[in-house]
Amino acid sequence: MDQTTPIEALPATAAGATAVAREAARRRAFAIIAHPDAGKTTLTEKLLLRGGAIQLAGQVRAKGDRRRTRSDWMKIEQDRGISVATSVMTFERDGVVFNLLDTPGHEDFSEDTYRTLTAVDAAVMVIDAAKGIEAQTRKLFEVCRLRDIPIITFINKMDRESRDVFELLDEIEKTLALDVTPAAWPVGSGRGFLGTYDMLEPALHLLAEGSEPVKLSGLDDPKIDELVPAAEAEALREGAELASAFPAFDLEAFRQGTMTPVYFGSALRDFGIGHLLEGLARFAPHPGARPADTRRVQPDEAALTGFVFKIQANMDPNHRDRVAFLRICSGRLEKGMRLRQTRTGKQVPVNAPLFFFAQDRQVAQEAWPGDVVGIANHGILRIGDTLTEGEQINFRGVPSFAPEILRRVMIEDAMVGKKLRTALEQLAEEGVVQLFRPLDGTPPVVGVVGALQLDVLAERLKAEYSVPSRYEATPWGMMRWVVSDDKAAMEKFRQSAPHDTAEDHDGALVAFFTSDWRRNRAEEEWPMLKFLKLREQHAAA
């Protein structure tokens, strides 16, 4: 396929492309993945600025009346300059509708990030030019690889001291086992960074404020010598010539997740962002077929289907609201529809579906495959739920992982016990923590992947529910979900260990263990049971 192919349509029907197919072809749902401090939040803001979603870009740690990054709307995010919640932002540019899911950048929130990545069709991997591939980048990339998500790489902070470009590209190639193809080539670096050369459609993008790309005939175009100092022009030609040894861009390989085009820029200085957006519009896939338990769902089907990948409580603290984030997979969502929740068979009214801009929102009259909308949720919807116009299907791939840290939540004032139970229920619904109710009636246990989640839980309990709390250690080092077709064996196990068993937020049986040895012993003693480290969310009854 031609590298410069613009947005392509989904396969047309005999009578021409349907409205669903046309609208789906305009959508690009993508996430940004990065190690903390690589510049993800700043890049998010500048993408929104370029997309016309905001008129003023602030800084993550802005002071006084300077606006904070709109995707980081929780107080703890603003205080610490990190992202700990998934934000959804929708904007349109040059006929393409972008749905940007800003994922947590901290490793302690990897489960939330994993669930978010089930809702996107592509990802932008942000790499610090001075640091290269970092631990969290590698972890998040592996999550993308599990789903073969196409990845566009953005090497950020080129205007600061950086590593050699070939060294960076070689590291991406070897560390992540990806074919690398430069979509751009930097002109200078550090304080001498002047811009980039477009490798796919020869043009010069200069860092100078307000400058437009200069079209070129190629590397030998004399315009380069007019616009770039001699030493930098020579280095550009030499570097770009050597870079031609990398594989040529292959759209199919990119969409299969085996090749990444690489862009360069500086998010802080708003450079390279427009070029990156063009790449997303041209190369990132529109919504594709989605696997469900009985069949694959095509995006241009007339009947609506979608799945809930996140619940967010208290986005508007004044209203104590709970919103379910629904990724639409097929059909057209219209305001006022009633959809079937396949887990329970209940009808869910969608009276005011919401489009998001971080915590801000507006009612959507309609939405299409690739869009993410919010549905007011009063405890009915769960993460992993599938909604349809009647068909009994469940989308796959929205998991829960066994937490690595288990703590009891304690309160000093027994009078707020009921408020604590309500708060933990809502925050477990949201996926902030996993909640377990021990069968022996002792205080609730929360499970998290990383310690920062405990800080967030305590902060939100205090700020949103007025419940000061503290944590107590538990004797357990791990938990597993207990499943079996043998109901009698399940009940016998439940009764045999009331002090080491609990029910999770969905009523599923879990077992706590003090060590791997204890877990192995249980597996030997109860061969009719399975002890799972991961389970599909939709399996909850």
Q: SS3 for 141-154, per residue?
A: HHHHHHCCCCEEEE
Q: What is the pLDDT of residues 9-59, one digit of tens each?
A: 444 443 345 899 999 999 999 999 888 788 888 888 888 887 765 543 333
pLDDT at 540 over 60: no
Nearest to 385 by CA among 343, 332, 337: 343
Predicted local confidence at residue 526, as pLDDT: 96
41 is in an annotated binding site: no
pLDDT at 86 over 60: no
Q: What is the pLDDT of residues 221-243, one digit of tens each?
A: 999 999 999 999 999 999 999 99
Architecture of domain 291-388: 3-Layer(aba) Sandwich (3.40)
d(CA 221, CA 227): 11
| Cβ(461)–Cβ(468) below 8 Å | yes
205-241 b/e with 16+ CB inside 10 Å = b? bbbeeeeebbebeebebeebeebbeeebbebbbebbe
Predicted local confidence at residue 85, as pLDDT: 47
Mean pLDDT is lowest, of 124-128, 319-323, 345-349, 535-539, for 535-539
157 is in an annotated binding site: yes
| Cβ(357)–Cβ(90) below 8 Å | yes
Predicted local confidence at residue 296, as pLDDT: 95
Residue of 535 and 203 predicted with greater confidence: 203
Nearest to 339 by CA among 297, 309, 288, 377: 377
Task: Please count the helices (runs of H) and the strands (runs of E) in the chain.
Answer: 14, 33
pLDDT band at 186 (very low <50, low <70, confident <90, very high): very high
Architecture of domain 32-88+106-111+119-284: 3-Layer(aba) Sandwich (3.40)
d(CA 403, CA 421): 20
d(CA 42, CA 55): 15
287, HSE (Cβ side, Cα atoms, 13 Å): 35
The 8-class DSSP code of residue 395 comes to B
| Residue 25: both structure tokens together | 């072809």
Q: Where are the domains of the chain?
A: 32-88+106-111+119-284, 291-388, 399-536
Would 32-88+106-111+119-284 and 291-388 be classified into the same CATH topology?
yes
Predicted local confidence at residue 464, as pLDDT: 86
**Phi-psi sector, 52: left (phi>0), alpha (psi -120 to 50), beta:** left
58 is in an annotated binding site: no
Predicted local confidence at residue 322, as pLDDT: 78
| Cβ(538)–Cβ(394) below 8 Å | yes
What is residue 279's three-state secondary structure? helix
By CB atoms closer than 10 A (0-12, 13-18, 19+), residue 91 is buried
Architecture of domain 399-536: 2-Layer Sandwich (3.30)
135, HSE (Cβ side, Cα atoms, 13 Å): 5
Share of the chain above pLDDT 90, in %: 56
Predicted local confidence at residue 431, as pLDDT: 77
205 is in an annotated binding site: no
Angstrom distances, CA of residue 143 to CA of 95, 114, 117, 140:
30, 7, 8, 5
468 is in an annotated binding site: no
Please, what is the average pLDDT of the chain?
84
Predicted local confidence at residue 147, as pLDDT: 79
pLDDT at 319 over 60: no
Helix (H) or strand (E) holding 21, with range, is helix 19-25
| Cβ(138)–Cβ(331) below 8 Å | no
What is residue 23's three-state secondary structure? helix
Dihedral of the alpha carbons of 46, 47, 53, 55, in degrees to the nearest 10:
20
pLDDT band at 76 (very low <50, low <70, confident <90, very high): very low
d(CA 254, CA 407): 43
Q: What is the mean pLDDT of residues 414-419?
A: 87
Nearest to 284 by CA among 183, 192, 388, 359: 183
158 is in an annotated binding site: yes
Q: What is the pLDDT of residues 505-531, one digit of tens each?
A: 888 999 999 999 999 999 999 999 999
pLDDT at 72 over 50: no
Predicted local confidence at residue 520, as pLDDT: 96
d(CA 20, CA 341): 22
| Beta partners for residue 328, in sequence order | 306
User: Strands 179-182, 259-264: parallel, antiparallel or unpaired by DSSP?
Assistant: parallel
d(CA 148, CA 165): 26
Predicted local confidence at residue 47, as pLDDT: 86
Predicted local confidence at residue 317, as pLDDT: 58
75 is in an annotated binding site: no
d(CA 277, CA 270): 12
6 is in an annotated binding site: no
pLDDT at 256 over 60: yes
199 is in an annotated binding site: no
